[in-house]
Structure 1
């Protein structure tokens, strides 16, 4: 004799269309903080994009016809530009001067993305073995009302996400 099967439960009611997960807000680009090893002056107004590129090397296999294949090649890291308001603290300038003397002081820099409360760390990028390669002073204008800003360009060896 065949056993009687229990009736299957009906599927739950669903709305038509795609059903995305819980919405999450993207990070705000103004909620960030920079940490530099041994540098206490961390009032940065701007941090340029972090950039990593893997070069694509082209090659043709023997007997492969007209097909050009691509392999990952050297990795390059773009420079990061920091802008901060001028202060009486000489820390960033002293760090740059070591580079001009031919003895760059390599430091680790962390870029922290903060939550909407401006305090809670949500994401961290670690730029390893950084040293300053360029320093610029903001143009001065007796008729302007802007904050005087210094710009510091950093080069780095590797990038990790913390």
Structure 2
């Protein structure tokens, strides 16, 4: 059957260039240049049952391990939002937040959402400076979190 372009028959992968990030209560819809590292991995447990006739191990899923999410955005005048959040970290005291990463369609509606639970900034890398460069200044924020959930609309 030919695709006539109607909404019922066209199913295309979503482009990844239109997205926004909510970093908590006062940080809604922050524009980032890049978001990466949204991954999860289960540790592997190898176990051999005592009554198994095979002389090999059985592989079972173990504890889930979530990678840190890295976000890059331009530096703006009088904007120290990331640095202020990072400054709240003290010994065993962390202001954790729920971070939402939203993939948007052409009308701006949310089509897919990644939720980072109990997130906090673990590293901030400020831009490098070059007297002969013409690039924009970019800050990099690395966020640690305890779990990642995905919602499809």
TM-score, length-scaled by structure 1: 0.80
Instruction: Judge which range, 63-72 or 78-87, deviates more.
Output: 63-72
SS in 1 for 2:33: strand
SS in 2 for 1:44: coil
Q: Specify which of 50, 60, 71 is matched with residue 71 of structure 1.
A: 60
Whole-Å Cα distance in 2 between the matches of residues 39 and 48 of structure 1? 23
Structure 1: segments with no counterpart, 5+ residues: 1-13, 16-20
Q: Specify which of 26, 31, 34 is matched with residue 46 of structure 1.
A: 34
Q: Which residue of 2 aligns with 1:80?
A: 69
What is the root-mean-square deviation of aligned Cα atoms in Å?
A: 1.9
Whole-Å Cα distance in 1 between the matches of residues 82 and 131 of structure 2? 25
Runs of 4+ in 1 over 2 A off after TM superposition: 38-41
Q: Specify which of 113, 138, 141 is matched with residue 149 of structure 1.
A: 138
SS in 1 for 2:83: helix
**Aligned residue pairs: how many?**
142
Q: Specify which of 8, 14, 19 is matched with residue 27 of structure 1.
A: 14
TM-score, length-scaled by structure 2: 0.85
Q: Specify which of 74, 89, 92 is matched with residue 82 of structure 2.
A: 92
* CA offsets 1:64-109 (integer angstroms, 9 cap, x no match): 232321111011100000111111212211001112x332210100
Larger Rg: 1
Structure 2: segments with no counterpart, 5+ residues: 3-7
Q: Which residue of 1 aligns with 2:5?
A: none
